[in-house]
Structures are given as C-alpha cells and as structure tokens.
Amino acid sequence: MTEFLTLDEGTIAYDLSGNGPLVVLAHGMGDSRHSYRFIVPALVAAGYRVANVDIRGAGESSTDWKGYSRTDIAGDLVALVRHLGGPAVIVGQSISGGAATIAAATAPELIVGLVELAPFTRKQSVDLGGLLRNKKHRAGTIELAKVMMGGSLKAWLAYLDLAIPAKPADWSAERARIETTLSRPEKMRALTAMTKTTPADAGALLGDVRCPVLIVEGSADPDWADPRAEGERIIADLPAGVGELAVIEGAGHYPHTETPDALLGLLLPFLNKTLAPTA
C-alpha cells in the first residue's frame, strides 16, 4: 500500500515492506518507484525493511514543488529516514545518486551507506571527444537536450530506448506506463525541471561523505562516453577508502531493471557489511 509523508511543500509517496534494517530506494528522473520492482522482493526476503520512494514530482508524490535539485531531493530522503527511524542505506539512481551523496554528507547519523546506480554526482563538463567517438553517447545527449529545451516526450522515450539496451521482459508495458504518466503536463514539467539541475551541489560534498559507498555503472550507459571513467572520478573525489566501483557489463543507465540479478549480487553483500539483516 502507498503511504505518504507530508513535508512543508508537498507529499512524498512510498511503499514500505519487510522487517529489519532500513533500505531506502530512490529512482531517477522521469521514473517512479516501480523501477525497483525486481529488487524489492529480494531485499525483503534477505531480511530488510524497504522504503521504495517516489521522489518529488514523480509517481504518486505531489508535483507543486519549488525546486527539484539534488539538495531538495536529499532533504526529502533524510526526512523519510528520520520519519521511519534510521539508520538506513540509500540506494539512489541517476539524480537520486547525487541526492544520496548529499543526504549522507549532511545527515551522517542517519545514513550509514550509499549505493549509487549510474549516478550524476559530480559537476559535468561537455566531453567533445567522447561525443565524436561514441555514437550512443552522442544520440542520448541529443535526446536529453530535446527534453530539457522543449519537454519532448518523444525524445524522452527515444532516450530510454538507448539508455535501456537490455530490455526487461515487461518493457512494453513499462514503457507504456511511463508514456502515460509523462503525458500529464505536471509530470513532464517536473522531469524538465530536473534535467536543468546541476550535480555540482552533490560533487561539492563528496569529500564530506564518511560512510561506505558503492558506485555501480553500466558499461553501455549512453550518458557518458566512458561510464567506468565517470565512476572512477567519483571514487577519487570521495575520501580515501570510502568508495568502491563495480561495472555491470552490457547494462545501460538502469541496472536495477535491466540486470537485477547482477545488481543484487553486488547490493546484498554491501548491505550485509553495512546493515545486519534479520533473516
């Protein structure tokens, strides 16, 4: 069942399932908590209490927010952990990876571990050489620019086709669900607003993170010409010994939906080190 946390500017929707130490799942822009549909059952079976969140502006969460920055999303995640009773590990994908970084840096008493999936956690610069060399990176960048500049649903769906090279079995239904959701003007406005934010706020706090961090990249992620190199740069900006990097071969920007078994093979051992399960 959907539960709601009321904050000053709106409400955050989430599902809560299982018993044990708390794991918070936060999806990327243009998506919803449904993206973790293959991950939640395994975490619950492993003995964790799982809060699967619709970030602000997405899913069943409200849409009338003043901002959609990583700092804004981090504040929501910290408020949810505090509401549910921490400590917690946050699993954040894309924009929520950056938000998770900020949450850990600003609330170390609540956040004891981070798993960042294809995260935008550092200030980005245009990689002209990468755009010339990597056709998929160039194509994905063009589609995202169309979303940012014009709120194009067609461009977002084209981007997803590139960003999810390993389509899950239910992709036709899932794509239709996403298309229906983003056909609502308020949902597309939230997505467009997120595309215009910068990860610089998260990057500025990487050095302040003290908890263990697992960065997971997909080797076929079109958001970067070299996803492994982006992950290595994040690790380098964290304090020494805090971060580790894993790259899932063949995965794109959504490893939790494309390659859930491979991700769980990384996620469960990490959680076992940072949160003791009850099962």
CA gap 50, 44 in Å, rounded: 7
CA gap 97, 268 in Å, rounded: 18
| Spans of the chain, pLDDT less than 70 | 277-279
- Whose tokens are 């069942």? That residue is 1
Please give the pLDDT value at position 130. Answer: 75
Please give the pLDDT value at position 279. Answer: 52
* Under 8 Å between Cβ of 197 and 114: no
CA gap 193, 138 in Å, rounded: 22
pLDDT in tens, 40-68: 999 999 999 999 999 999 999 999 999 99
- Whose tokens are 């500049």? That residue is 149
Please give the pLDDT value at position 277. Answer: 66
Please give the pLDDT value at position 135. Answer: 85
Taking the domains of the chain in order of start, what are their residue ranges? 2-126+198-274
Please give the pLDDT value at position 278. Answer: 58
pLDDT in tens, 137-187: 888 889 999 999 999 999 999 999 999 999 999 999 999 999 999 999 999
- Tokens for 192, please give them: 């467009």
Class in CATH terms, 2-126+198-274: alpha beta
- 137, 145, 7, 27: which is closest to 75 by C-alpha? 7
H-helix or E-strand spanning residue 256: helix 255-258
Tell me 33's DSSP state. Answer: G
* Under 8 Å between Cβ of 34 and 174: yes
- Tokens for 166, please give them: 């390993």
Strands (E), 55-203: 88-93, 111-117
